[in-house]
Amino acid sequence: VSRLIQVVKIGGSVLTDKCSEEPQFAWQQARRIAGEIGKLSRLPVIVHGTGSYGKPSARQYGYMNGKLSRRQADTISKVSSILESLRMKVLETFRNEGIPAVSLNAGSLFVTENGSIVDCHWEPVLNFVERGVVPIISGDFVTDRQDDFSVCSSDWIASHLSVSMRAHRLVFVTDVPGVIMPGETGKSQPQTIAADDIQQWQSAEPGVEDDVTLGMQGKLAAAFLACESGVETFMVDGTSAGSVFEALSSDSPHATRFVAKKTAREVGVQ
Ligand SMILES: Nc1ncnc2c1ncn2[C@@H]1O[C@H](COP(=O)(O)OP(=O)(O)OP(=O)(O)O)[C@@H](O)[C@H]1O
Ligand SMILES: [Mg+2]
């Protein structure tokens, strides 16, 4: 049985100016989204990405493969201070909208092995939200069983938490309304995407070189893990006003929906 818990992953693409080489918080957009979440009758678990607070450091310190060794302890600490400053701004924004939020650290909730989450302490997260306090977790460094440390993507945090907590719905908020499929061009639109469609896409698409968490490709894999485990999974364009509120409150939001398998109707069979 799914619980009436919702998880929202707010992308660094909407909370920060993601193209900036310097950390740059997108105050106005963050405030608007926090306001939309504040209007919900049931508050969600919030996970957020790091945008221009995370990606430039990975390039600068050379951990684009997401792995760090204990010899990079100074890097871990230095970059963590940048991520902490982002979390402070996110917390402040949500508190200013009247949301009772606390920050929980990914490094104390998750352990990875070869970069994949293998240990997920979801119980405290669920406990907080069930008691009316909104936990906020960001993408971060965590310890890894094989390598010493890894970059734990907020897309995977959101997806693993949703599955473990048996959440009802997971919403990825990013800066595009849908996914452009191979061979397609132009602007993406809200759509239904089945895991079957994506298999062909992933083999066609080369790796994403400039993003340690693999951009859209990583997000799709995380989204399919959730929908295949029975979580209603959506993606919305957070740059469009009202979309976050709708995605978390409507029974059938106008959003990109991830489904485990194409249904007969979707492939055009009567
Ligand atoms: N096939 C595709 N369809 C749609 N968007 C794509 C595609 N390939 C790459 N993208 C890019 O993926 C981006 C969204 O992923 P990105 O990781 O930048 O955002 P995010 O996950 O919201 O931010 P963060 O990783 O900081 O949390 C979009 O801005 C878009 O430009
Ligand atoms: Mg991303």
Q: What pLDDT, in 10s, does the model give residues 49-72? A: 999 999 999 999 999 999 999 999
How many CA atoms lie within 13 Å of 186's alpha carbon, on the beta-carbon side? 3
Find the distance separating the first CA and the last CA of the chain, reported in whole Å. 30
pLDDT band at 270 (very low <50, low <70, confident <90, very high): very low
pLDDT band at 184 (very low <50, low <70, confident <90, very high): confident
Give the pLDDT score at 103.
98
**Does the pLDDT value for residue 106 go beyond 50?**
yes
In the predicted model, what is the mean pLDDT of the chain?
Answer: 92
This prediction has a pTM of 0.95
- Residues 184, 178: contact at Cβ < 8 Å? no
The CA 265 to ligand 2 mean position distance, Å, reads 31
Angle between helices 195-204 and 215-228 (to 10 degrees): 150
Atom of ligand 1 nearest to the CA of 55: 26
The CA 231 to ligand 1 mean position distance, Å, reads 21
